[in-house]
């Protein structure tokens, strides 16, 4: 069974809980490729599908989702795209790098080696347009949110809390300690695909000195 459960999320959405959490992105991609659902949103442990009840009834939609998932062979899904990001770590770009490293009894370089050596993947987006939660950082590294969130975190900033990196696509308020800033443009408001990072995108982080 691909899904552990499927539950109604109000009158026009279903939340799918995969049996294997790693399959969320493949499930979302398979559903999105059908082009019939209004939204297909990956969460931490779920994929939520919004539909138009005027087009298909709740029961018909449930069956459509299940049959769409029956047709996909999740094992043979080709791996998602991969993006290399170059991260600056000067004091201005990485205000909390040293404190984060020290909290783990590491030097900044040792700490960064652990991060860049991890198998990083965009787990989901949310919080703000293009804001990416990146998984793959081992739980051994500890870190928590800033006690006083910043009014302004710059676009490209890379935050760290235990288990995750958070990458800011836009300038805005933010509560993650910042350990670097990437040079790539993550958000282009003039493009039809304004956001560079999508759920499932693999990330290679390179430190630029």
> Given candidates 103, 127, 146, 175, which one binds another protein under the rule CB under 8 A?
127
Chain Cα centroid distance, residue 51:
23
Is residue 59 close enough to count as binding another protein by CB under 8 A? yes
Is residue 121 close enough to count as binding another protein by CB under 8 A? no
The 10 Å Cβ neighbour count of residue 173 is: 11
d(Cα 207, Cα 181) in Å, to the nearest integer? Answer: 10
The smaller minimum CB distance to another protein, of residues 107 and 191, is found at 191
The smaller minimum CB distance to another protein, of residues 112 and 124, is found at 124
| String of contacts with another protein for each residue 143-172, x by CB under 8 A | --------------------------xx-x
> Given candidates 26, 27, 42, 178, which one binds another protein under the rule CB under 8 A?
42
Is residue 33 close enough to count as binding another protein by CB under 8 A? no
Is residue 175 close enough to count as binding another protein by CB under 8 A? no
Q: Which tokens belong to 123? A: 């787990």
Is residue 105 close enough to count as binding another protein by CB under 8 A? no
Is residue 38 close enough to count as binding another protein by CB under 8 A? yes
Binding site residues, another protein, CB under 8 A: 7-13, 15, 28, 32, 38-48, 50, 52-54, 57-59, 124-131, 133, 169-170, 172, 189, 192, 194-195, 197-199
């Amino acid at each position: 069974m691909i899904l552990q459960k499927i539950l109604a999320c109000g009158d026009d959405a279903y939340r799918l809980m995969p049996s294997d959490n790693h399959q969320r992105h493949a499930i979302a991609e398979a559903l999105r490729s059908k082009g019939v659902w209004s939204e297909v949103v990956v969460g931490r442990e779920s994929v939520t599908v919004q539909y138009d009840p005027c087009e298909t009834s709740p029961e018909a939609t449930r069956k459509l989702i299940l049959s769409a998932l029956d047709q996909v062979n999740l094992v043979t899904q080709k791996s998602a795209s991969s993006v290399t990001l170059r991260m600056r770590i000067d004091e201005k770009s990485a205000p909390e790098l040293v404190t984060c490293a020290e909290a783990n009894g590491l030097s900044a370089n040792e700490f960064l080696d652990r991060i860049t050596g991890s198998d990083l993947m965009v787990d989901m987006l949310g919080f703000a347009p293009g804001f990416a939660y990146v998984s793959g950082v081992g739980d051994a590294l500890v870190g928590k949110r800033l006690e006083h969130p910043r009014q302004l975190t710059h676009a490209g900033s890379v935050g760290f809390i235990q288990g995750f990196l958070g990458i800011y696509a836009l300038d805005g308020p933010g509560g993650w300690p910042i350990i670097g800033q990437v040079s790539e443009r993550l958000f282009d408001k003039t493009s039809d695909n304004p956001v560079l990072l999508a759920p499932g995108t693999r990330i290679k982080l390179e430190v630029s000195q």
